[in-house]
Structure 1
Amino acid sequence: MKIILFLIFSPLFVCCNATQNQVGSKKTNVDYANTITANALKKHLYIYAGDEMEGRMTGTKGQYMASNYIRDFYVKEGIEEAPGTDNYFQNISASFFAGRRDAQPSENVVAFIKGSEKPEEIIVISAHLDHVGTDKEGNVFNGADDDGSGTVSILEIAQAFQQAVKDGNGPKRSILFLHVTGEEIGLYGSRYYTENPLFPLANTVCDLNIDMIGRVDPDKKDNPNYLYLIGSNMLSQELQDVSTEVNNKYTKLELDYKYDDPNDPNRFYYRSDHYNFAKNDVPIIFYFNGVHEDYHKMTDTPDKIEYDLMAKRAQLIFYTAWEIANRDQRIAVDKKQKKQV
């Protein structure tokens, strides 16, 4: 009798388990976020901020090598070039950098994942690809944190989204991976993009801008599990609320808003590429670890990066982008950008 009952019910048991395994095997945002690893970031950054890139000064051979490195990554991953680019490059003529001695042409590098349901709505994830080059003796300013950390974080975030696409779980809204040039000499690349957008700024949901997320502010040595967020509620309270919710659920970093103080003398809100979006009333978040002793020095090298912490910060940005991309409604803009004074 026991044998008969086992034979009768065992196929049902196997079938149910198979169903459970099939359902349970569907990947989630956590699975994709976990593909953003310290080891992968480190591998990229030792190349991207290596001496061969010669400090990535805008318009130089080293900066062009850096742009090629970024493009080659997207080609390898099967992530498409953004419509309107020339083999991933949004070319910028030397005349755009007018007023600078020895101005040379340069380029933004732009890749694109098309949304599955609302492709016309665009989430921009940005970082600047340039740095300050070399000194007169040829010493290299590697710019590992500034902004190699942001650049390679975008590569890993893009790879995570692309894996979701391959699994049939791609974002509902489109994601634009924007690597801008000329930040160090005056936010030129982001200004060029916002004056010549590949998609209408009115359709741009937000810009998540990453500029230095690989180090620890000396003031935060006792609690390195933090990240400065700047401007997250300047134009959209909902954007900050989403950011807070995903952080509380997944990454549990201390989100520090001290640089949103309008009386802060650093005025960081106006000093990175997000501002060219913000002044066009596109909601932004600027992710930043703060200034440290190696900022804009030859000692900003890959060996000083906190890779585990950097991976966690990059995962927060991925989670935020994922949530914004997949919400039923576009996040609301409830404020207008105040003019810089």
Structure 2
Amino acid sequence: MKKIGLLFCMAILIASCSSSNNKNAKKDVTDYAKTIAASELKDMLYTYASDDFEGRKTGEPGQKKAIEFIKKQYEDAKIPSPIANGNYFQEIPEKYFKGRAKTSENVVAFIKGSEKPNEVIVISAHLDHIGISSDGEINNGADDDGSGTVAILEIAKAFKTASEEGNGPKRSIVFLHVTGEEIGLFGSRYYTDVDPIFPLENTVTNLNIDMIGRVDPKHENGKNYLYLIGSDRLSKELHDVSEAVNKKYVNLELDYTFNAIDDPNRFYYRSDHYNFAKNNVPVIFYFNGTHADYHRPSDTPDKINYEFLETRTQLIFYTAWELANRDERVKVDPKES
């Protein structure tokens, strides 16, 4: 009986050690990507794209509610601002908008890199929308760009979890929510041309998210997809990294239709990544294409495909993770003579 008891105690000890080792095992990037959940994206978006935010028109009360919502998400997650302690707002004066809007704000948070903190990856989305129609209907902008806004918040929380567990990014990650996109890319242009909080020469790349929650008519076959725009315009290396990450982790259908130089829609010039690209910062613009509810009061959170949104957000997180942790920053292609 003593021998049996001894063997039983040893078995318990071995099991306990094994359990302890599993808890202390270093997590993989996939563990952090899994914290990006459709349920959390949905909860945030139903608030952010609700009537309470009055369509988030630049400079108006609804947009002020939007920036406070975003700020609270970062405060609750204990993700700091690079501007000043507790100050997440990069204020843009009324005169900058040339009469098109009142004073407005970008919202900025960041996670400092562990090895190369001066090199930064900027993940951006616009926080504004088009406000209230003349007939009083509210344009909630769930897809445009509520989807990008909540995606950034989930990505930020995933990086924060990794950082707290000693797996923080080697390069800094900047989470940039810009205002004034709908009236002319004002917020991103202010950041790049007037007050870049981090020098543009230290900005490795900009990953811009503008509408990633819906399905356009071309892709109604049920397979998850994303349009990628600009990934190879300035850095073939960035494009190759993006392709490899997608293939390794999520295997979405990546559609480059709108990346064509002669694209009649000119989407490359129509979202906030362009203000980085014109300053020679490599970019990727993530986009689901337009749909019948684009810029209409019917762009509501009940029409978002949250499972697709989850996977698309995870792809962007994986891409940012790779760019932040690889040994060398992605290189800009030499200019053709």
Structure-2-length-normalised TM-score: 0.94
Amino acid of the residue matched to residue 88 of structure 1?
Y
Return the offset for 1:243.
1.0
Which amino acid in structure 2 is aligned with residue 48 of structure 1?
Y
Hey, what does 1:238 align to over in structure 2? 237
Structure 1 position 284 matched with structure 2 position 271: no
Candidates 114, 124, 127, aligned match of 2:125: 127
C-alpha distance in 1 between matches for 2:276 and 2:335: 12
Aligned residue in 1 for 2:61: 61
Instruction: Give 2:181's aligned residue.
Output: 183
Query: 1:157–1:318: 8 Å Cα contact kept in structure 2?
Result: yes
Q: Which amino acid aligns with 1:218?
A: P
Residue 310 of structure 1 pairs with residue 309 of structure 2: yes
- Pair 1:213-2:226 in alignment: no
CA contact (8 A) 2:229 2:284 kept: yes
Q: 1:149 aligns with which of 122, 147, 158?
A: 147
- In the other structure, the counterpart of 2:190 is 192
Letter in 2 for 1:163: T
The answer to whether the 8 A contact 2:54-2:140 is kept is yes
Q: Which letter does structure 2 place at the counterpart of 1:222?
A: N
**Equivalent-residue separation in structure 1 for 2:222 and 2:334 (angstroms):** 33
SS in 1 for 2:299: coil
Per the alignment, residue 246 of structure 2 pairs with 247
Which amino acid letter does the alignment assign opposite residue 98 of structure 2?
A
Change (3 A) 1:74 1:97: same
Q: Can you give the 5+ residue segments of structure 2 that lack an aligned partner in the other structure?
A: none
Question: Take 2:203 and 2:127, find their aligned partners in 1: how far apart are those partners?
Answer: 21
Alignment partner, residue 94 of structure 2: 94
Gaps of 5+ in 1: none
**Match runs of 1:43-62 below 5 Å:** 43-62=43-62
1:31 aligns with 2:31: yes
CA distance in 2, matches of 1:187, 1:336: 26
- Alpha-carbon distance in structure 2 between the residues aligned to 1:283 and 1:85: 30
Residues 84 and 198, structure 1, Cα contact 8 Å, conserved in 2: no
Does the 8 A contact of 1:281 with 1:336 survive in 2?
Answer: no
Q: How many residues in Structure 1 have an aligned counterpart in Structure 2?
A: 335
Q: Matches of 2:334 and 2:298 in 1, distance apart?
A: 40
Partner residue in 2 for 1:40 = 40
* Superposed displacement of residue 3, structure 1: 4.6
SS across alignment from 2:192: helix
The runs of 4+ residues in structure 1 deviating greater than 3 Å are: 2-20
Q: Report the Cα distance in structure 1 between the residues aligned to 2:329 and 2:116, rounded to whole angstroms.
A: 10
2:80–2:86 CA contact under 8 A, matched in 1 = no
1:98-149 residue CA offsets vs partner (Å, 9 max, x unmatched): 143xx30000000010001100000000000000000123210000000000
User: Structure 1 residue 10: deviation in Å?
Assistant: 6.2
| Residues 51 and 314 of structure 1: CA distance in aligned 2, closer, same or farther (over 3 Å) | same
Alignment CA distance shift 1:9-1:211 (3 Å): same
Distance 1:138 1:9, change over 3 A: closer
- What amino acid maps onto 1:156 in structure 2? E
CA distance in 2, matches of 1:307, 1:93: 36
Give the residue type in structure 2 aligned to 1:68.
E
Judging changes above 3 Å, is the alpha-carbon distance between structure 1 residues 61 and 260 closer, same or farther for their aligned structure 2 residues? same
Letter matched to residue 291 of structure 2? H
Counterpart CA distance in 2 for 1:249 and 1:262 is 28
Match of 1:21 in 2: 22
In 2, the alpha carbon distance for the partners of 1:11 and 1:97 equals 68
Task: Decide whether the 8 Å contact of 2:215 with 2:288 is kept in 1.
Answer: yes
For residues 16 and 327 of structure 1, what CA distance do their matches in structure 2 show? 33
**TM-score under structure 1 normalisation?**
0.93
Distance 2:16 2:61 in 1: 60
- In structure 2, do the counterparts of structure 1 residues 67 and 336 end up closer, same or farther at CA, with 3 Å as the change threshold? farther
Q: CA deviation at 1:335?
A: 4.4
How big is the shift at 1:21? Answer: 2.5
TM-fit CA distance, 1:28: 1.4
Task: Give me the whole-angstrom Cα distance separating, in 2, the residues matched to 1:76 and 1:46.
Answer: 18
How many percent identity over aligned positions? 62
Q: Does the CA-based 8 Å contact 1:216-1:224 persist in structure 2? A: no
What amino acid does structure 2 have at the position aligned with 1:143?
G
2:172 pairs with 1:171: no
